Chain A
Amino acid sequence: MIFLFNRTSAHQRIWPAALCAVTFCLFVVTALLYGWETNNRALLSESVTTSGWVAYQAQLEYVKADDAMKRAAVRPDADALADLGLRLEILRSRLPLLHASEDGRMLPEIDALAPMLQRFETVLDGMIDALPALEQSVAPKEPVLKAWSAALSPLGRDLQSVLMASVAYNDALFARERSLAGQTTLLPLGLLFLSGSALVSLMWLRGRRDRERLLEVETARRAVCEMERNLLGVIQAAPTAMLVLDPLERAVRFINPAAAEMVHPSPGHPDWKRLIDTSLEEVQIGDDGGMVVRIAFTKSGGDVVSLKGSLSPVMWEGRPQMLMVLIDNTRTRDADLQLIQAAKLATLGEMATAIAHELNQPLAVIRMAVANAHRHLGAEDARDAVAAKLDRVTLQVNRAKRIIDQVRRYGRQPSGKAASFPLRPTLELAAGFVAEQYRACGIRLALQLDVPGDLSIVGDRDLLEHVIVNLLINARDAFELRALARPRTVWLRARVLDQKVLVEVEDMAGGISEEVMAHLFEPFSTTKPAGAGAGLGLSLARSVVRDMNGHIVAENMRNGACFTLLLPITGPPAAREAA
C-alpha cells in the first residue's frame, strides 16, 4: 500500500480521501449499531421488568382473597369480612391490568383468557356488592363463602396457567437477551477496531506526508542557503559592480568589492547617496521592460566615469530592495565618442567644398555691396545708399556666422552626456547642415516635421544631429551613385506615435539590396566606393539611438530606402498627454 502511495501524487491524494470516507462510514455504522443495540437493551430490560409481574400479582391477590374467604368462612366476624372485601377489590383491580399489560399483548395464553377474566370481573363485582348484605345477614355465612370460593376456583387455575405462560415468556426473553449480548460484543468492537485502524492509517499517512513535506522544505531551505552562499560568492567575485539599495531610504545595503573600488569602500559614504540619487533620477525602461541606468558620475577625485547598468527588484534580508548592476563603460564610451568624432570630422571633410561654397555666397554679396558702397561715397546723397549697403553687409556677415557656427557645432567633440533637448530644432539644424549639398546635387530635401517645437527627447543632441546628418548624406550618396531619372527627393519626417516620436529619412534612390540590408548596421558595412566611407556611420547611429532607449530600422519602401528612428518622448508633459 505504501508502495502504491509512492506511485503518483494522485494516489497520494486518493488513498487518504478513501480512508477518510471509510473511517467516517465505519463511525456512522458503529453509532447506528450502538443506538440500535441500546434501544434493544432498553426494550428487553423493560420487557424483563414487566413480564410476569402482573400475572404474579394477580395470582398472589387471588391466593390472598381465597385465603381471606376461607378465614371468613371459619370465623365470619366483621374484621374478617372487611379484610375479605379489601382482598376482593384488590383482586378485581388486578384483572384488567392483566390483559392490558405487556404480557397481555404479547402472550396468546393471556389474550385467550380475556373473556374469562372479564366474566370473573363481573363475578367479583357481584361479590363485592353482596358482601355488605352478607355482613348484615344473620344467616350462616359459611356456605355462602364456600360457594364463592368454589366459584372463584377456576380463576385461580387460569391465573396459575397465565403465570406459567409469563414465566415461560420471561425465560425466552432472558435467552434472547443473552443471545444479543453475545452478538453485540464482537461486532461493535470489530467496527471500532476497524475505525481505529483506519484512523491510525490516516494519521500515519498524514504524518508521512508531513514528514516528506518537511523534508522537502528542509532540503529546499538548504538548497536556497547553498544557492545564496554561491550567489553571494559570485557577486563578491564578479568584476561588475553590484549593490543592493533601499529605494525608499536611498541607502546602500550591500556592495561587492568591484562596487567598493568603483565608488567608495564604505556604503555609508556620501558618494553612494549621490550615485543612487542620480541613478534613480535617470532610470529608464529598457527594451525588455527592465529598468536601465546610464549616468555620468563624478568621483570624489574629480574623475568623470560613464556608468551603465540595470535595476532589478530583489528580496534582501527579508525586505524588498533593488539590485543595481553597474559597469564602467567609460573607455568604451570614450572610444565610441572618438569614433563618432572621427566620423563627424570625416563628414565635415567631405562637406568642405559645399561649406566653402556656402560661405562664399555671403562673402560674394559683401564684396559686391562694399564695391557699390565705395561708388556711392562720391555722391552727395550717399549716406542712405551706403547705410543700406552696410545693412546688407551686416546681414551677410550674420549669415556667414551661422554657417560657421553650424560647422563648429557639428565638429565639436560630443559630450556623451544625456540631457533633455527639443527634437524639432535638432532636425532643422541637421537639414540645414546638408541643405547646400542637396542644392548643389539637385536633390530636393522635403521636411515634414509634424511635432511640436518643444517636444523633447533625452540623449546627446550633437550625436543625434550627427545621426540625422549621416542618414541624409547617405541618401545623397545613394542618388549620386545611381543615375536615376526619378525625382531626386529625400524626405525628413517626424511625428508622434504612442508616446514616442518617429523620425524617418526616406529617399527614392533605388533602395538597399538584400545582401547589404542583412548587415546594414554592422561595423564596416558600406556600399560606397573605397575612401568614401569607413562603413561605421550606421553602426554608430544604432549605438547612439540605443543609448537613447530608441530603435533604428531600415526598410525598402516604394523606390528607395527608409530609415526609421523610434525615440521615447520625455517632455513637455502637455505634448506627452496630447500624444
Chain B
Amino acid sequence: MSDDHSILICDDEADLAGELGEFFTACGWRAIVHVGAPDALEALHAGASPTCLLTDLRVGHFSGAELVAATRRLPAHLQPRVYCLMTGHVLDTSEAKDFGVDLLYVKPIDPDMVLNDIQKFLADAYSP
C-alpha cells in the first residue's frame, strides 16, 4: 500500500464502481472512478497514468476489452502497469491473456483478494 499507487476503475454499475473506489481509497490508493469507457479513456489520454486499470468487461457500448486495447495503444508513460478485467459472466476456460489483461475476475469479486493480486503482480513484475 503506497501513496504512489493509483487505480482507474471503470464499471457502468455506478454503485459497484463507487464501492471499489471507496475500498481502494481506504487501502491508501488514489482511486479514479468512471462509469463509462469513453470517459475512462479520455482520462487516460489526459495523463491520469494510473498504476492499475480495473474495468468491467461490459461497460455500455464500449466494452472493457476495447478500453484495454485502446489503453495499450497509449504512449508507454500513460499506460497503467497492471490491467485487471472483471465480468459478471460465467467463464469456464477463459484466461486473462485471452482478453489481453494481467488479471481476470468473475463477479462478485473479493476486494482483498484483488488488492493482494495486484500488489503481488506489481511486486513480481517490477522487483529488481
Contact = CB atoms under 8 A, between A and B. Distances in A.
A150 interface: no
Contacts of A118: none
Given A360-B89, A367-B108, A371-B112, 15 more contacts: A356-B88, A357-B58, A357-B87, A357-B89, A360-B106, A360-B107, A361-B107, A365-B19, A366-B108, A369-B19, A371-B111, A372-B23, A375-B26, A439-B60, A440-B58
Interface in A343-387: 353, 356-361, 363-369, 371-372, 375
A363 B88 CA distance: 9
B49 to A, nearest CB: 25
The 8 closest A-B pairs by CB, nearest first: A368-B19, A360-B88, A367-B108, A357-B88, A364-B107, A364-B108, A360-B107, A363-B108
Contacts of B3: none
A369 B26 CA distance: 13
A363 B61 contact: no
Chain B CB within 10 Å, residue with most, of A356, A360, A364: A364
A371 B111 CA distance: 7
15 contacts: A353-B90, A356-B90, A357-B58, A360-B107, A361-B88, A363-B108, A364-B16, A365-B13, A367-B107, A367-B109, A368-B19, A368-B109, A372-B19, A375-B26, A440-B58
Contacts of B26: 372, 375
B58 A368 contact: no
Interface string B52-69: 000000101100000000
A198 to B, nearest CB: 101
Contacts of B88: 356-361, 364
A442 interface: yes
A440 B61 CA distance: 9
A125 B51 CA distance: 180
Nearest to A439: B58
A490 to B, nearest CB: 15
B16 A356 contact: no
Contacts of A365: 13, 15-16, 19, 108
Nearest to B27: A375
B22 interface: yes
Interface size class of B (residues with CB under 8 A): 20 to 34
Determine the main DSSP class of A at the interface with B.
Answer: helix
Interface in A371-427: 371-372, 375, 392, 396
B98 interface: no
Contacts of B89: 353, 356-357, 360
Interface size class of A (residues with CB under 8 A): 20 to 34
Contacts of A366: 108
A364 B109 CA distance: 6
B111 to A, nearest CB: 5
Chain A CB within 10 Å, residue with most, of B22, B61, B112: B22
A369 B15 CA distance: 9
A396 B20 CA distance: 15
Given A353-B90, A357-B88, A396 B15 contact: yes
A10 B109 CA distance: 99
Nearest to A488: B61
B110 interface: yes
A41 to B, nearest CB: 124
Chain A CB within 10 Å, residue with most, of B86, B106, B108, B112: B108
A365 B107 CA distance: 9
Contact of B23 (A358, A368, A396, A440): A368
Interface in B6-28: 13, 15-16, 19-20, 22-23, 26
Nearest to B14: A365
Interface string B92-117: 00000000000000111111100000
Chain A CB within 10 Å, residue with most, of B15, B20, B60, B110: B15
A151 B22 CA distance: 180
B23 to A, nearest CB: 6
Given A361-B16, A364-B108, A392-B15, A442 B23 contact: no
B62 to A, nearest CB: 9
A360 B91 CA distance: 13
Interface in A426-458: 439-440, 442
A358 B111 CA distance: 20
Nearest to A443: B61
A368 B90 contact: no
Given A357-B89, A372-B22, A375-B26, A367 B15 contact: no
Interface string A213-227: 000000000000000
A352 to B, nearest CB: 8
A440 B65 CA distance: 13
Contacts of A442: 61
A539 B90 CA distance: 32
A367 B110 CA distance: 7
Contact of B20 (A358, A368, A439): A368
Interface string B28-65: 00000000000000000000000000000010110000
A547 B106 CA distance: 44
A204 B110 CA distance: 113
A371 B23 contact: yes
Nearest to B61: A442
B108 A360 contact: yes
A492 to B, nearest CB: 19
A523 B111 CA distance: 50
Contacts of B106: 360
A375 B19 CA distance: 12
Chain B CB within 10 Å, residue with most, of A358, A359, A361, A366: A361
A367 B88 CA distance: 13
Interface in A460-495: none
A396 B110 CA distance: 17
A373 to B, nearest CB: 10
Contacts of B58: 357, 439-440
Contacts of B86: 364
B59 to A, nearest CB: 10
Nearest to A375: B26
Contacts of B13: 361, 364-365
A440 B89 CA distance: 10
Nearest to A358: B88
Contacts of A361: 13, 16, 88, 107
Contacts of B109: 364, 367-368
Contacts of A359: 88
